[in-house]
Amino acid sequence: MTGDKGRGMMAGMDDAAGADWAARLRASLAGAPMSRIDTPDAPDQPPIQPPSTHVAVEPAAEDAPTPAEPPESVEEAAPASGSAPVQAARDINEVLAALDAAPPGPVHADLAPLPRPPLFEAMQPTRPAPIAGPGHLLSALELSLQPAAHPQAARPVAEAFAPPPGTFDPADLAALDAMRADAAAMDGAVVDWFGLRTPIVLAPELASHAGTVLPRLVLADPRASAGEWIGLAVSVVGARESWRALDVGAGRGDLLLAGAVAARRRGLGLSLHATEGESERFAVLRAHAEVNGIAPTAHRFQQAELGADPNKLPRHAALAQDWLGDEHAWDWVRIARPETLWVLLRTAVELLSARVRVLSLTTHGRMTEATALRALPRAGWRLVAEAPSVVDRANPRGCKSPGVQVWRGPLA
């Protein structure tokens, strides 16, 4: 059979003939660059031919045509050195080598990297300018407060601040409505509901409201702070001849100075006392007062911590009981320092009841809130507004954000 003859010839090819055929093939490719799919470390082998699409079928009869005979020698089987397949392989390698050696071309405009906008810098709020040294602080701030070209009118309290029914006494809301100021807007500053002017350089978080009269109370946490403003309004409306106020831990003085501006507009005299332990905040407090026409030197503004335990007073601290004794009656007292508040609630409720009409407490935990709710009603105090602090679950004795309690005392 023809198939048996071909298989016999292939089996009869010795190793020397196969090696000679491979050597001839390598010689035909000498000088051509190696393609990217070559494996130089692999052993010498004949090239792998692609599979044939011809399917051999065993003839059905003896007289059927026989397939072509296999080559009688290695020379007939090996391709010539100049044959087309080898030349095609050389051309492909030349193209690949030329691409590797070519310099990179210009990047298309659509693919060019865009410059990254300075988003971080653009989003940074303006920080307050450093204030230091004695003298008139307005020049240090370099403020330019001019009437705005298009002042924004304030809206009634019903539109601006509408708590759920029953949250506050209607008379207390009426006191807040009475604090509305018909003030003109000023460039570079915010004018609030009470008529207080706050330069943006002192309050970067209000930058989006610059040059406007706020039509409502802008509060970081309305639940915790709305009661403070209502208690402040109640104290101003109930004051006679002068408004006497003490702010322990005043910070920027938003509440204290807003009440002072509203009281002055109602023809009341002012007796302002404020303490702030942090030097930069104290400088901002003084500057804020001067912007609103209040000279700190005419009142008692002191950079100091105010404690209540004479045996544990911090360095350079004053005693809160001594400050409470400066006036025979206070229209408004705010205590924001937690250590001072804790001691006063436990040891000085009688003094508070005899001297204070409206007491605003900034609470820093449920224990302080519970102590106030237990001690003050026994002494005749009435709760005006309340919002609990947010407890830190990791440390239940502390809080994530403070709460507020506003009380009206027996003198009110």
Amino acid letter for position 264:
R
The candidate with the shortest Cα–Cα distance to 287, out of 126, 142, 184, 125, is 142
Q: Which two tokens stand for residue 356?
A: 């204070």
The answer on pLDDT for 366 being more than 80 is yes
**Residue 382: pLDDT over 50:** yes
**pLDDT surpasses 80 at 252:** yes
Select the more confidently predicted residue: 45 or 258.
Answer: 258
**154-163, 338-347, 374-383: the lowest-pLDDT one:** 154-163
| DSSP 8-state class, residue 129 | P
CATH 3.40.50.150 positions along the chain are 154-181+215-408
Question: How do residues 279-322 score in pLDDT, each as one tens digit?
Answer: 999 999 999 999 999 999 999 999 998 899 998 887 778 899 99
Cα separations (Å) of 115 from 74, 105, 118? 66, 21, 9
Fold of 154-181+215-408: Rossmann fold (3.40.50)
Residue 39's pLDDT band (cuts 50, 70, 90): very low
Residue 92: per-residue pLDDT: 54
Spatial separation of the C-alpha atoms in residues 320 and 335, rounded to whole Å:
10
Inter-residue contact 54 to 76 (CB < 8 Å): no
At 192, the pLDDT band (50, 70, 90 cuts) reads confident
**pLDDT > 50? residue 11:** no
Q: What is the pLDDT of residue 22?
A: 54
pLDDT bin (cut points 50, 70, 90) of residue 91 is low
In this predicted structure, the answer to whether residue 17 has a pLDDT above a threshold of 70 is: no
Q: Which of 92-101, 358-367, 384-393 has the highest mean pLDDT?
A: 358-367
Higher pLDDT, 222 or 352: 352
Q: What integer best gives the mean pLDDT of the chain?
A: 73
pLDDT at 110: 41
- pLDDT over 60 (residue 117): no
**Torsion angle in degrees (nearest 10) through CA of 190, 192, 196, 200:** -20
The confidence score (pLDDT) of residue 141 equals 54
Distance CA 294, CA 272 (A): 10
Q: What is the mean pLDDT of residues 159-164?
A: 57
Give, in order, the Cα–Cα distances in Å from 177 to each of 94, 153, 180, 196, 344.
88, 15, 6, 15, 32
DSSP string, 40-95: TTSPP-PPPPPPP-------SSTTSPPPPPPPSSHHHHSPPTT-HHHHHHHHHHHH
Query: 90-99, 221-230, 299-308, 312-321: which has the highest mean pLDDT?
Result: 299-308
Phi-psi label, residue 106: left if phi above 0, alpha if psi -120 to 50, beta otherwise: beta
- Give the pLDDT band of residue 165 (cuts 50, 70, 90): low
